[in-house]
Amino acid sequence: LPAQKGYVPTTENLRNREDFRDRKFGVFIHWGLYSMLADGEWVMNNKNLPYREYAKLAGGFYPSKFDAARWVADVKAAGAKYLCITSRHHDGFSMFDTKKSPYNIVDATPFGRDILKELADECHRQGIRLHFYYSLVDWYRTDYNPVGRTGREASRTLTGEWPAYHQFMLDQLTELLTGYGEIGAIWFDGVWDQDQNPGFDWRLDELYAQIHRLQPACMIINNHHLTPFEGEDGQTFERDLPGQNTAGYSASSTISSLPLETCETMNKSWGYRMTDTAYKSEKELIHYLVKAAGNNANLLMNVGPQPDGEFPAAAMERFRAIGKWLEQYGETIYGTRGGPVAPRHWGVTTQKADRLYVHILQKEDEVLFLPVPGKTIRSAKTFIGKKNVEYTVVPSGIALNVSEATDAIDFVVELELQ
């Protein structure tokens, strides 16, 4: 597949990758015109809405409660260290001050504010790394031609030519990488939309080269569900831990050596959906974060803000709970890498410097066998309270007495290594 041939990441880029890995937890934000219809970000496609009618939503977009400082503070209080927001989703509406199309939040809405700029300023002020989601698919433009698997709305005749659309993307990415300060990553989505058009070429190489030219440190992540292409700096897994494919999206289960990320949403929708009250419990969400860390991956957890610009109350409750948990257990998550013990049914391990954290998420036995050489272990203590935990050295590892493990969300044993 086409990509940036011969790509060699710069030292700044490699540093950014490690910084990304250290951050471990990010908040994903899906927000756009679709939020007003309160039926998810695919509503335009799912309900086959005529694009000229859908576009009229812009005239009523006025999120009176939007406050970038507040959002970033809420994200921070959740314990997240980065934020990824939809700069433009499949509906084609730009949530930033683009000069390349009037179909954007500044020119087409009475709100008239560049929310990406406001967020970028706040992220930089508050120390949150900023990532931009950018859709390759476009259900609005007539030069998104040939039509893809989605967005086949009848009234939209595709008169334009593909090269114009590609130039549009290139120009918009240039805007995003020159007008908003340092960007941690561009997060692409939608490659799959053209995978039934034989011979189709996204010309990602040119997009990737431009991004890396403008901001060499900026990571490129592309949610294409395939083995990473040359030129990419990270690998994301949609609604799955790395290598799993329970969501049925992946065409490849390859886990690359690039920084890994799992993206998931708190309920079942990415964009705000009023009827979707199926929020995961605090425990489930924290377990997912811990499992991601144990699988050597970050977790990017989504919230779909309301059309008025506020996060739903159910999402806020969960953010606060995760934040509270991370205040106590953050040391076992941030800056760690997946531990030497492969993820198990009972839980996972994370590792940082001379510490190995054993996260028991689901207690099964009183004694846990860990294939970690006994002679490398200096001490075993409960992470909370630092009480000694008994263990015996066995031929191929240690047997850890975890009879004290409680039903807490995560019972962590801290092993100090030589």
- CB count within 10 Å of CB 147 equals 16
Nearer to ligand H79 by C-beta: 196 or 328?
196
From residue 10 to residue 49, the character string flagging contacts with ligand H79 as x (rule: CB under 6 A) and all else as - is --------------------x----------xx-------
**Among residues 146, 31, 131, which one has the least CA distance to residue 91?**
31
Nearer to ligand H79 by C-beta: 169 or 368?
169
From residue 150 to residue 179, the character string flagging contacts with ligand H79 as x (rule: CB under 6 A) and all else as - is x-----------------------------
- CB count within 10 Å of CB 64 equals 10
Output the smallest distance, CB 172 to ligand H79, in A. 17
> Could you tell me the two tokens for 184?
């941690």
Residues 177, 179, 181, 183, CA torsion sign:
negative
Asked if 263 and 300 touch (Cβ cutoff 8 Å), the reply is yes
CA dihedral 224, 322, 96, 185 (to 10 degrees): -50
Output the smallest distance, CB 89 to ligand H79, in A. 6
189 binds ligand H79 (CB under 6 A): yes
Nearer to ligand H79 by C-beta: 250 or 350?
250
Residues 377, 378, 383, 389, CA torsion sign:
positive
Output the smallest distance, CB 73 to ligand H79, in A. 24
User: Residues binding ligand H79: what is the number (CB under 6 A)?
Assistant: 12
Nearer to ligand H79 by C-beta: 253 or 328?
253
Output the smallest distance, CB 284 to ligand H79, in A. 19
> Could you tell me the two tokens for 16?
């950014």
From residue 92 to residue 131, the character string flagging contacts with ligand H79 as x (rule: CB under 6 A) and all else as - is ----------------------------------------
134 binds ligand H79 (CB under 6 A): no
CA atoms within 13 A on the CB side of 415: 28
CA atoms within 13 A on the CB side of 275: 3
**Ramachandran sector of residue 275 (left: φ over 0; alpha: ψ -120 to 50; beta: rest):** alpha
Residues 391 and 401: their CA atoms lie apart, in Å, by 6
Output the smallest distance, CB 30 to ligand H79, in A. 6
Nearer to ligand H79 by C-beta: 249 or 334?
249
Nearer to ligand H79 by C-beta: 114 or 238?
238
Nearer to ligand H79 by C-beta: 30 or 141?
30
Asked if 292 and 241 touch (Cβ cutoff 8 Å), the reply is yes
- End-to-end Cα separation, the chain, in angstroms: 45
Output the smallest distance, CB 104 to ligand H79, in A. 19
In single-letter form, the type of residue at position 312 comes to: P
Task: State how far the alpha carbon of 15 is from the alpha carbons of 10, 22, 219, 255, 259, in Å.
Answer: 9, 11, 10, 21, 11
Nearer to ligand H79 by C-beta: 189 or 233?
189
Output the smallest distance, CB 417 to ligand H79, in A. 38
Nearer to ligand H79 by C-beta: 271 or 338?
271
Nearer to ligand H79 by C-beta: 122 or 189?
189
> Could you tell me the two tokens for 312?
């739903």
Nearer to ligand H79 by C-beta: 252 or 396?
252
Task: State the DSSP string of 48-115.
Answer: T--HHHHHGGGGG---TT--HHHHHHHHHHTT--EEEEEEE-TT--BSS--SS-S-BTTTSSSS---H
Output the smallest distance, CB 5 to ligand H79, in A. 26
Output the smallest distance, CB 49 to ligand H79, in A. 15
Which of 51, 192, 237, 411 is in the footprint of ligand H79 by CB under 6 A? 192
Output the smallest distance, CB 411 to ligand H79, in A. 32
270 binds ligand H79 (CB under 6 A): yes
Residue nearest to ligand H79 (CB): 192
Output the smallest distance, CB 262 to ligand H79, in A. 11
**Among residues 190, 288, 296, which one has the least CA distance to residue 242?**
296
Residue with the two structure tokens 């908040």 = 27
Interacting residue ranges for ligand H79, rule: CB under 6 A: 30, 41-42, 149-150, 189, 192, 223, 238, 249, 263, 270
